[in-house]
Structure 1
């Protein structure tokens, strides 16, 4: 065996969503801040993301998280999230995976009954409180970035669907929130393919027709994901985030529910101090809370908190043989969906 590149990862999932953590093989990415580093990946050199995420070394149903040297003095660790389309600024489920891996592998010393870990992300600092017992990270609670409703009840014209009503909100990244009742659908595993198809169409329409841009974080433009939002018969919040190029988040989604809470707060449907249960398409749950209010560049915003569980399930090492004809991998639509439209 002869490899010109070797990368080691620890595999974890948070309430069903796989978020593997790169723990060795990458020294750094150019940039002064984590936002700079993310923009370098997205705008200058995307080869590392493609190597890690694309087949044959990656697969559609996962995220890969790049652990990097911190650039902020208050941080304990820094990271960004690699998906099928690009690098993203923040993720609740991936933050839960990262904290679980950092503590259970001893990269950061575990303190029982609670360990505080400050994560540096391109969207800012995220404070994590990990409940720990007998060497196990049992639950991670995240104080998420300030989140706000950007556009309520916006309407986009979607090919094959007509006019669709959406909310645009920021929860660490931008979301288009969609009520599936517009299409006579409920959020359930048997409807996954239909939800993905509709979500991808709406995603393209939003980014083509609406101006979405963070007022302070350079490079955070356009929505990252769509998210179908409803309630189960028992009143619990139900959600399904659609990630490019075409799959459903298995977790309830931390950034998505932060965006959802911001819209609920703007409509008077939740209040400071309120906690809700958020349920995923596979019925796993996060607890989500509005801990306070603030402003983002003069816009009313909330301070969301997300709590969930993560589990380490493997260690993975990948490499590149210099004769391999697919050094940056490939995507095929049977698994990756409408990849090329969404990535263009």
Structure 2
């Protein structure tokens, strides 16, 4: 993918504080008969496009993005390839909320009577967004995510400098290690961001080296991408506060959509959450997602849940990213 003369049309949103840069025009066609094949092609050949879109000087280490593409599945309103600084990812919950809001707010999907249903095709599967609007502006979006499941309870790994660290594993669009913050002397506060990232990456690397993770029905989904720290909520309308460490050096500002999905499956496996129960999930900056288990299902014989996540997203900008021929950083950089 050649960067020479590149311009991209983008619409920026944030979902409960977490940025989402949506590429709506200018990206060269990405080959692949399926969304998964396109994501894999982007991973192998799209470093310049990803860096141009997300990295400094046009973005930053916590920027997330999405590239609109033609859907393959009948009935899907849009195909989407999610990207993070480390590379393409199969699913992004806060991104799906932002995309649902964007497609309605910009008139790409109509919302008669103030309600719309948007179907996104992602590499992980189909995701439905129910968008509520007032005076043409989205006020909330509920996504029905791909099935989530527990992948392990009460596990332990030795981490240099920390000793044994207890964790659970769950999948919510990606695999997560779920780690209680307090036993590690951590508090989920913005001023602790650097420490959370550093310790989270150490834990992730230790688990990744010892625990093979492969989705039983989607073999391309493998490995541990995220560590989710949790502690009791501070808001009255939430049960837990969480912070998700995003490799290589990011921290989710939102309550994390796929992370909340993983947490729903985890709590169900522990017998602590029933079908239809509301689960308030608070972010490190105090914003909120409401999660629910919409139904029970299975993934290749593994008990699973169908998660629904409700949140809000706001447009923050529209514009064109451009590349001057003399720019020494056509693919961006990260510190």
Same fold, TM-score > 0.5, yes or no: yes
Q: 1:145 Cα deviation (Å)?
A: 0.7
> What does 1:58-207 correspond to in 2, within 5 Å?
58-207=59-208
Q: Secondary structure at the match of 2:40?
A: helix
Q: 1:43 Cα deviation (Å)?
A: 3.2
> What does 1:1-344 correspond to in 2, within 5 Å?
4-232=5-233, 234=236, 236-332=239-335
Q: Unaligned regions of 5+ residues in structure 1, if any?
A: 333-344
Residue correspondences, number? 330
Q: Normalization by structure 1: what TM-score?
A: 0.92
Q: 1:182 Cα deviation (Å)?
A: 1.9
| CA RMSD, 1 decimal | 1.4
Q: Secondary structure at the match of 2:113?
A: coil
Q: 1:27 Cα deviation (Å)?
A: 4.2
Distance 1:240 1:264 in 2: 17
Q: Secondary structure at the match of 2:224?
A: coil
Q: Is the 8 A contact 1:27 1:68 kept in 2?
A: no
State which drifts further: 94-103 or 184-193.
Answer: 184-193
Q: Is the 8 A contact 1:117 1:127 kept in 2?
A: yes
Q: Is the 8 A contact 2:62 2:249 kept in 1?
A: no
Distance 1:84 1:273 in 2: 35
Q: Is the 8 A contact 2:13 2:98 kept in 1?
A: yes
Distance 2:274 2:251 in 1: 29
Distance 1:313 1:279 in 2: 22
Q: Secondary structure at the match of 1:112?
A: helix
Distance 1:49 1:206 in 2: 27
Q: 1:134 Cα deviation (Å)?
A: 1.1
Q: 1:175 Cα deviation (Å)?
A: 0.8
Q: Secondary structure at the match of 1:224?
A: strand
Q: Is the 8 A contact 1:277 1:285 kept in 2?
A: yes
- State the Cα deviation string for residues 43-101 of structure 1 (Å, max 9, x = none): 34433212212212221132111111111112101112111101111111111111111
Q: 1:223 Cα deviation (Å)?
A: 1.4
Q: Is the 8 A contact 1:111 1:132 kept in 2?
A: no
Q: Secondary structure at the match of 2:202?
A: helix
Distance 1:296 1:184 in 2: 36
- State the Cα deviation string for residues 15-39 of structure 1 (Å, max 9, x = none): 1111011011014211111111111
Distance 1:255 1:170 in 2: 8
Q: Secondary structure at the match of 2:201?
A: helix
State which drifts further: 251-260 or 215-224.
Answer: 215-224
Q: Is the 8 A contact 2:255 2:288 kept in 1?
A: yes
**Alignment match, 1:337:** none
Q: Is the 8 A contact 2:296 2:305 kept in 1?
A: yes
- State the Cα deviation string for residues 172-218 of structure 1 (Å, max 9, x = none): 11111111112122212222222111111111111111101112223
Q: Is the 8 A contact 2:47 2:331 kept in 1?
A: no
Q: Unaligned regions of 5+ residues in structure 2, if any?
A: none
Distance 1:127 1:172 in 2: 14
